[in-house]
Amino acid sequence: MAVLIKGKDLSAKIVEKIRHEVLTYDKKPTLVVIIVGNNPASQIYVSKKKHTAELAGFNSRVIELEESISQEDLEKQIEILNQDEKVNGILVQIPLPKHINAYTVIEKIFPQKDVDGLHPVNIGRLAIGLKPYAISCTPQGIIKLLEENNIEIEGKHAVIIGRSNIVGKPLSYLLLNRNATVTVCHSKTKNLPEIASQADILIAAVGIPKFVKADWIKEGAVVIDVGINRMEDGKLIGDVDFEEAEKKACYITPVPGGVGPMTIAMLLSNTLDLFKLQNL
């Protein structure tokens, strides 16, 4: 039976450590989150981010904008925040309405205020092995979970199922930079179960409930489930068939309480780093 990798416990320690550090400064770090429209899932995520930021002693603001806002007006709002010296981190909650180009919006954020680590400058620096101003939160949280549990990365075969700009691609760079051999799979990958079964570290990030079956998992592999899927009965489940997978894996993250809390903890860690970059 697999050992559970509990991100909830580690994230609480990280937030508490950040809170103590913030108390030593004359000013508080300020995080601003922009949410466009009334997507229920986004509203829940933003509420959690604001609450946790306040627990850590940050100034936390949420700017709520109408779904009908134009690309130009959204970018103007970002420019105001870019120029505001009191604002240390800017986050635009994804997804955005279909008429908004998310890539262009992210590119408008100053790289030194891009708390999500998604600006092309930050992703580019990560890709070539330079330190970004901020590292993408979920991938960074996954690495922290592996390191905290003394799971060796160097020389291991890591298979990532999902190639998103938010998780799959930046995570592949983080793993490569730690000398893992990385395979990134996606919807066009052939023989996916066979490839997955070769993984020492298997990461599922596709957003499909119970997509990864137990027979895809090598005996003794580490399984990281990034998926958060809400079922009709309100239950949250991951991209991995957890009940069967935990019988084969040596380590596995639960859903909820695994990767999710680490994403918010890394968001606060990034905000603090950007605050220090701008003020110290």
pLDDT tens digits, residue range 74-128?
999 999 999 999 999 999 999 999 999 999 999 999 999 999 999 999 999 999 9
Rounded mean pLDDT of the chain? 96
Whether residues 71 and 159 fall in one domain: no
Which residue in the list 77, 93, 144, 239 is annotated as catalytic?
93
Residue ending a domain, choose from 95, 110, 125: 110
pLDDT at 177 over 90: yes
Whether residues 169 and 250 fall in one domain: yes
Whether residues 174 and 249 fall in one domain: yes
Whether residues 57 and 141 fall in one domain: no
Q: How many other C-beta atoms lie within 10 A of the C-beta of residue 173?
A: 21
pLDDT at 230 over 90: no
Which residue in the list 6, 49, 108, 248 is annotated as catalytic?
49
- CA dist., res. 40 & res. 46, Å (int): 10
Whether residues 183 and 143 fall in one domain: yes
pLDDT at 41: 82
Residue ending a domain, choose from 110, 129, 145: 110
Q: Would residue 191 count as lying in a domain?
A: yes
Count of domains for the chain: 2
Residue ending a domain, choose from 40, 75, 110: 110
Burial class (CB within 10 angstroms; exposed 0-12, middle 13-18, buried 19+) of 53: buried
CATH number of the domain residue 175 falls in: 3.40.50.720
Q: Would residue 269 count as lying in a domain?
A: no
Whether residues 66 and 180 fall in one domain: no
pLDDT at 267: 97
Q: Whose CA is closest to 49, among 103, 9, 92?
A: 92
Whether residues 48 and 141 fall in one domain: no
CA 273 distance to own-chain centroid: 16
* Cα pseudo-dihedral 231, 234, 240, 243, rounded to 10: -120
Whether residues 141 and 54 fall in one domain: no
Whether residues 96 and 159 fall in one domain: no
Q: Would residue 278 count as lying in a domain?
A: no
Whether residues 153 and 236 fall in one domain: yes
What letter represents residue 34's amino acid? I
- What is the pLDDT confidence band of residue 161, given thresholds at 50, 70 and 90? very high
For the chain, report the end-to-end CA distance as a whole number of angstroms: 47
pLDDT at 170 over 90: yes
- Residue 229 has which token pair? 């899927």
Residue 116 is among the residues annotated as catalytic for this protein: yes
Alpha carbon of 78 to those of 29, 72, 173, 221, 244: distances in Å?
18, 10, 28, 43, 45
Q: Is pLDDT larger for residue 42 or for residue 59? A: 59
Q: Would residue 72 count as lying in a domain?
A: yes
Reduced to 3 states, what is the DSSP secondary structure of residue 203?
strand
Q: Would residue 13 count as lying in a domain?
A: no
Residue 49 is among the residues annotated as catalytic for this protein: yes
Strand partners for 173: none
Which residue in the list 114, 116, 200, 225 is annotated as catalytic?
116
Q: Is pLDDT larger for residue 276 or for residue 280? A: 276
Whether residues 141 and 101 fall in one domain: no
Q: Would residue 217 count as lying in a domain?
A: yes
Which DSSP symbol is given to 93?
P
- The half-sphere exposure of 222 on its side-chain side, counting CA atoms within 13 A, is 19
pLDDT at 144 over 90: yes
- What is the pLDDT confidence band of residue 280, given thresholds at 50, 70 and 90? confident
pLDDT at 221: 98
pLDDT at 272: 98
Whether residues 184 and 255 fall in one domain: yes
- Which domain covers residue 222, as residue numbers? 137-260
- CA dist., res. 166 & res. 53, Å (int): 21
Average pLDDT over residues 154-164: 98
CATH number of the domain residue 80 falls in: 3.40.50.10860
Q: Would residue 127 count as lying in a domain?
A: no
pLDDT at 39: 87
Q: Would residue 85 count as lying in a domain?
A: yes
pLDDT at 143: 98
